[in-house]
């Protein structure tokens, strides 16, 4: 059985747009997984400590046969391959991959919360999701477009395609 999974991507260290572009290629190569679409990249202010560079963010839509925790393991392996260090909460990072939505699944355990619990507060995740699928909803029926309309502004700015590489 295959499930639509929506992954948020973020980076603010070591050529962030290039980090995301490489991560998209690595996500497309995951086992039993197909890349359906990639959203444009955006810049945004950091969440949390402001004494760090702005982020580059995006999202991808995958169709996967992996279970949620197996997909999470794959995402964390890609982060580690990019040199991700978890030194501080909401601190700078080479790559952050978040499982935002996994089909109609609702999960909340010590490793994974799906849909992502901070999604309603993150325009840098909501806007790329809308770019991927304008009619996307959460498992409870809440439209991503409605969340985006109420979301706080985080100085979101779309990057032009030449900035992706």
Active site residues: 84, 93, 96, 98
Name the 3-class secondary structure at 42.
strand
Asked if residues 99 and 68 have their Cβ atoms less than 8 Å apart, the reply is: yes
Helix (H) or strand (E) holding 124: helix 123-132
Give the C-alpha separation, 1 to 102, whole Å. Answer: 13
Give the C-alpha separation, 120 to 125, whole Å. Answer: 9
Using only the alpha carbons of the chain, give its radius of gyration.
15
Paired tokens of 81: 């391959």
Q: How far is CA 120 from CA 2, 5, 59, 68, in A?
A: 26, 17, 15, 21
Give the C-alpha separation, 146 to 83, whole Å. Answer: 35
């Amino acid at each position: 059985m295959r499930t639509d999974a929506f992954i948020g991507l973020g980076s603010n260290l070591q050529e962030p747009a290039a980090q995301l572009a490489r991560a998209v290629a690595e996500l497309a190569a995951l086992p039993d997984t197909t890349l359906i679409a990639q959203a444009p990249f955006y810049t945004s202010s950091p969440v949390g400590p402001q004494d760090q560079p702005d982020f580059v963010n995006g999202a991808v839509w995958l169709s996967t046969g992996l279970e949620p925790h197996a997909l999470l393991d794959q995402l964390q392996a890609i982060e580690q391959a990019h040199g991700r260090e978890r030194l501080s909460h909401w601190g700078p990072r080479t790559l952050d991959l978040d499982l935002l939505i996994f089909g109609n699944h609702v999960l909340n355990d010590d490793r994974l919360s799906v849909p992502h619990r901070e999604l309603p507060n993150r325009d840098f995740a909501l806007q790329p999701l809308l770019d991927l699928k304008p009619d996307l909803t959460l498992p409870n029926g809440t439209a991503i477009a409605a969340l985006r309309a109420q979301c706080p502004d985080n100085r979101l700015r779309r990057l032009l395609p030449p900035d992706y590489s």
